[in-house]
Structure 1
Amino acid sequence: MEKPQSHNELLPHLFREEYAKMTAVLCRHFGLRHIEIAEDIASETFLKASESWAINGIPENPTAWLYTVAKNKTKDYFKHISIFETKIKSDLKQDNHKQETDFGFNKQNISDSQLAMIFAVCNPINSNESQICLALQILCGFSVEEIANAFLSKTETIKKRLQRGRNNLRKDNFQIKSLNESEIQSRLKTVLKTLYLLFNEGYFSKSNNQFIRKELCSEAIRLILTLTDNPLTNTPQTNALLALMCFQSSRIEARTNEKGEAVLFDEQDKNRWDKSLIEKGNYFLVNATNGNEISKYHLEAGIAYWHTTDKKDKWKNILRLYNQLILIEYSPITALNRTFAFSKIHGHEKAIMEAEKLNLTHNSQYHELLGYLFAKSDIQKAIEHYEQAIKLTKSETEKQTLTKEIERLKRKNGR
């Protein structure tokens, strides 16, 4: 990725990459009950960077600068904020937390803090959906809009869910600490789902008018690699999810052209696929077979693997895996993807009947799929479905791609 040239370009990248890490270390120090203090210090650090870098220029090591300022602000907080003496100090003593300000933002501390924090946030005191929302916001730095997109929910619903979840965490009075094996096993499923949603928001982004957000995909892979480094979290499911992310990431560069327009799978330049990531995907998929469990991540990783090959019976294997996946966990997206694979084997006419049974009339991808399926037999119907997809999608990139396809079909139809 090209290095940003100004502080206005650099700071958003650093915010996404470092804010959550900074908050995790600070929160481990203050205690999760006082997460707002950690978030305030992290936010003030980036505000100071915005002000200072605009006047003095970007420092030689921007990341180190941020962590130095955060550490100094933490020391100042302990020295000067009266609330520490009146309330927080007694709470920290009660929570058995260290009160000294001598802590570091070294690589190991950041890694340990993030791993501990995500398991702390994914606490059974909250519902699974609340756990995921909290982890996406606190650990991954998601905005309310991004979380709403990930859950296909209204922003007000997510705001209320986050507020309830945070209140429950405060009342539970627990700490960010090393968890035992049973605690990790009980929460790992939610942690993996959180990282799955994080990756998907990057790979199929519908917020900020961006089609792909590479930094979110990279963040998800970085976090799940942390899980594979720990014997208690290096499970077959973890490896299967990591394999899926590698296979999907291998095609990121080919999913858009030089103009930033989306490129459909059938039209992608395979020379732009990252073969090293495909090899890593193969490696982690093999690791994922070290057990008897077949999870949705195993099946999705298998589907992604077959997409990277040109082997005989490729689409038959993909359809077979989708048939299994839809039984394990049904979703509209899975059903639509299965129908696309179905069309590759049984033809568009039969696939149209399969798609129409789903009746997902308020889903943009449903109309996009029908537009694709009708394009060979009924151009007018294809155009109508593409136009409906444009009305329903939030993605500007998708709108541009569909508009371009409509124009192509109109030229073909002599209009």
Structure 2
Amino acid sequence: MLVYLVLPLVILYFIFLSRAIILRSNNCQSNEFFVSRNNITLFLWSIVLLVLAVFKGVTVGTDYPMYYNFFVYETYEGIIETGIASIYDLAVKYNNFLIFSLCVYSLFIFFIFKGIKVNSPNYLISILFFVLTYTYFTGYNQLRQMIAVSMLFCFVGYLISNKKIDKIKYIVVILLALLFHKSAAFAFLLFFISKKKFSSKIIIPLFLMTIVSYFIPTLKNEIGQLIIKVSGFYADKYAGKLDSFFEINKEKGLLQLAPVVIQMIILTISLYFPQKKPRLNINYTLYNFSTNIVVINLCLYSLAGIEAIDRLQIYFACFNIYFYSFLTHLLLNSKEKFYGKVFLSLILLFWITYYLLRLIINISGIVPYSFFNG
């Protein structure tokens, strides 16, 4: 587990190091602090995360052995998901599973880092939350889906644009993402999410309803049945286990709800503090949009236990990277520096604690880490 502990600590170290360098060389005319937008830094961290993913043992991750078996027995068939099928064909042709792993994770890392480069005010902070929010480690299992997720994450600028041609471009991105995972069809729902930040009058009642609904299994099962009716390909795919995929198969309790409530509190506070600063290099449209997506993601926890919803949440959860990157940048530039640092410290304390607990519980079966085929 050591590699998982060292990874965020090293990123944190470089964040503080970059801050020290920026402060020493800071131009007096500049209004921003804590800006790390070094392309070499982005490249080096992409290589580190790529190597860890590509060369992990086949036993690292609950789903990873399945992908290896598809390769060994040549049993993967992709009618719609021709992108993954083509990568498998290439690996089988050269009889090397590392080719499959390298191609899949290169796409995943490339699109995530491209999105960070284009949209994030601070590369290192975004990479830190990429790790702490478990988005990176989700890719240790849901390989196909995470390629689709990373593509939608990367090109979100098209979605929030006011130009019709950009909307069409995002539709093309969704269609390309479908080549890697059918669930990308859910991304059409993103077009209906407002680019104007939800008000607290909407968010707070939604959060309260989420907490109450979390403890009503019958409601979840009714919604599960509704999902069956509107998602034909998932209903077909899991026809043999509808109860386990669309109904409550892993009921969660207070322990699982607690971190959700804390995230709700963090987001609610962010509606009032820190204040918007026009001079900062922040895409406020994307910040507002990301805030709304994170709100929806947290509300979906009311249906926790329905695996189909868990799969959908992956598309929303990745926007935590943007949300916390923007929020951190605002806090570090807040006029109320003391309160900004306290709030930021509490955010980091929560995510580091949550990250460690997930490792201890061994979510997704990624512990222990083994190198190559060990």
| TM-score scaled by length of structure 1 | 0.23
| TM-score scaled by length of structure 2 | 0.25
**Taking CA–CA contacts closer than 8 Å with sequence separation of 6 or more, which of the two structures ends up with the larger relative contact order?**
2
Greater Rg by CA: 1
